Amino acid sequence: MSAETNALMDANAIADAGEPTIPADLPLRNDLIGEEPYGAPQLDVPVCLNVNENPYAPKADVVNSIAERIREAAATVNRYPDREHEELRQAFCTYLKRESDANLQPNQVWGANGSNEIMLQLFMAFGGPGRTALAPAPTYSMYPEYARDTFTQWQTVPRNDDFTVNVGATIDAIKSVGPAMVVLTSPNNPTGTALPMEDLKLILEACQDAAVTGAQPGTHPIVVVDEAYVEFRDPGTPSAVTLVNDYHHLAVSRTMSKAFAFAGSRVGYVAAAPGIIDCLRIVRMPYHLSAITQAAALAAFDHTDEQLAEVDHLRDIRQQTAAWLEQQTYKGQPLRVMPSQSNFLLFGGNLDERELIFEQMLERGVLIRVVGPDGWLRVCMGTDQEMARFREALVESLRAVEQLCGYTAQ
């Protein structure tokens, strides 16, 4: 059992976040027996830096606008919402034009309850029995669960030592495996690594001619780029959404949860050719986006400037924190910090006792994440005050674990 799970249980966290208690006589699917619900710890601690949220709450005028939009929607909640969410799809297009200079039409975008539902819909539409999804690893730990839930085979290709995509190995795997989906993440979670546009184009072009095992003859893999953290990229860095009009087999997933400071509303969306969007419309649940959700999202887009106001500052904090982490040591060795284009940092590389360090941090009221390859920890960027406490707690925790391990500085 991981340190995170222990911490959840020790802190009396919400019941459904720990180990499930499923009676043996329930006919749970065989492949789900022994599985646990996905989720990062939800603990009541002073500093939560584990789920990559924007730490800055909406301004009062944004809150008022959301409340007013929801009040108007509430007057008609006896009726089903617009299942095609046409006004919201236009808002997605307007935002993507502003944010990435992408020229898209409403029939090229599609919304859902968070980018998690977008990804699940993609797996439902293009995965399934006899199909394979391929991805460079390490990457987001939910992807194999989408594959499991849709009976899709999950296969990975190792990334390079610096966590960049090994493009040659990935293209070789596309040719040999015949995946229905190639899942790329930029910036990658948990490493923060960006995918250069030239590398993405090479993979897109390889998929144009590749066959799909288990599919009709003449079909080719779709390429899914998960851009959940893309607004935190360095200024001037292009987004994959600018390629949607050039590649009909490209789908780019986005979310309002991260940079847009809207995690509690659960709104995600995808940009793709109309053909891909129509495939998602086949598998979507009826009226999957409530009138309340649509109203709240539209209100947030009315205040785009306010919602993104802290992105530059969080990017600066990321750079400052990376520089500080590189100056820290553990057992006499400097910490490694992976270059990041997101709002989080993967650090360590040599933290063999990372779960002990996590527990020491938690005892000091700071919650980070045990995730990714062994020896690494991840921290997302908080407010200035939260990051100051993180720095204090990390130094104290590293020294405490060194002492527990019997390490003596030379």
What is the torsional sign of CA 199, 200, 205, 210? positive
**How crowded is residue 22: how many other Cβ atoms within 10 Å of its Cβ?**
12
**Can you read off the two tokens belonging to residue 117?**
């539902």
- What does DSSP assign to residue 142? T
Q: How many residues does the chain have?
A: 410
Looking at the chain, which residues constitute the CATH 3.90.1150.10 domain(s)? 3-58+309-404
CA separation for the pair 32, 320 (Å, rounded): 43
Would you list the DSSP string of 68-86? HHHHHHHTTTTS---TT-H
CA separation for the pair 125, 218 (Å, rounded): 17
- What does DSSP assign to residue 299? H
In contact, 153 and 202? CB cutoff 8 Å: no
In contact, 88 and 111? CB cutoff 8 Å: yes
CATH architecture of 3-58+309-404: Alpha-Beta Complex (3.90)
CA distance to 91, 101, 337, per residue, from 246 (Å): 22, 14, 35
Looking at the chain, which residues constitute the CATH 3.40.640.10 domain(s)? 80-307
> In a structure prediction context, what are the per-residue pLDDT tens digits for the chain, which is 410 residues long?
454 444 444 443 433 445 568 888 899 999 988 888 887 777 889 999 999 999 999 999 999 999 999 999 999 999 999 999 999 999 999 999 999 999 999 999 999 999 999 999 999 999 999 999 999 999 999 999 999 999 999 999 999 999 999 999 999 999 999 999 999 999 999 999 999 999 999 999 999 999 999 999 999 999 999 999 999 999 999 999 999 999 999 999 999 999 999 999 999 999 999 999 999 999 999 999 999 999 999 999 999 999 999 999 999 999 999 999 999 999 999 999 999 999 999 999 999 999 999 999 999 999 999 999 999 999 999 999 999 999 999 999 999 999 999 888 76
CA separation for the pair 329, 395 (Å, rounded): 9
- What does DSSP assign to residue 334? E
CATH architecture of 80-307: 3-Layer(aba) Sandwich (3.40)
